Chains A and B, each alone.
Chain A
Amino acid sequence: GAVVSQHPSWVICKSGTSVKIECRSLDFQATTMFWYRQFPKQSLMLMATSNEGSKATYEQGVEKDKFLINHASLTLSTLTVTSAHPEDSSFYICSARDKGNQPQHFGDGTRLSIL
Chain B
Amino acid sequence: RKEVEQDPGPFNVPEGATVAFNCTYSNSASQSFFWYRQDCRKEPKLLMSVYSSGNEDGRFTAQLNRASQYISLLIRDSKLSDSATYLCVVNEPSGGSYIPTFGRGTSLIVHP
- Asked if residues B46 and A101 are in contact (CB atoms below 8 Å), the reply is no
Q: Does B81 have its Cβ within 8 Å of any Cβ on chain A?
A: no
Given contacts A34-B100, A103-B49, contact A93 B31 (CB under 8 A): no
Q: Which of B21-29, B72-80, B91-99 contacts A (4 or more CB under 8 A)?
A: B91-99
- Interface residue from A2, A51, A106 paired with B44 (Cβ < 8 Å): A106
A44 to B85, CA, bound (A): 12
For B, the interface residue count at a CB cutoff of 8 angstroms equals 21
For the complex, is A105 an interface residue (Cβ under 8 Å from B)?
yes
Contact A103 to B97, CB < 8 A, known contacts A43-B102, A43-B104, A43-B105? no
Q: Min CB distance, B104 to chain A, in Å?
A: 4
Is A108 touching B43 in the complex (CB atoms < 8 A)?
Answer: yes
A100 at the interface (CB under 8 A from B): yes
Say which size band chain A's interface belongs to. Answer: 20 to 34
Contact A106 to B104, CB < 8 A, known contacts A32-B97, A49-B99, A101-B98: no
The majority secondary structure among interface residues of chain B is strand
> Is A29 located at the chain interface by the 8 A CB criterion?
no
Is A44 a contact of B102 with CB atoms below 8 Å? yes
Q: Of A43, A93, A103, A107, which one neighbours B34 at CB under 8 angstroms?
A: A103
How far is B91's CA from A32's CA once the two chains are assembled, in angstroms?
A: 13
A34 to B91, CA, bound (A): 13
- In the complex formed, the residue of B with least CB distance to A34 is B100
12 A-B residue contacts at CB 8 Å?
A32-B97, A43-B87, A44-B44, A46-B99, A93-B44, A101-B31, A102-B32, A105-B46, A106-B43, A106-B44, A108-B43, A109-B42
A-B pairs with the 7 shortest C-beta distances?
A106-B43, A43-B104, A100-B98, A109-B43, A101-B32, A100-B97, A103-B34
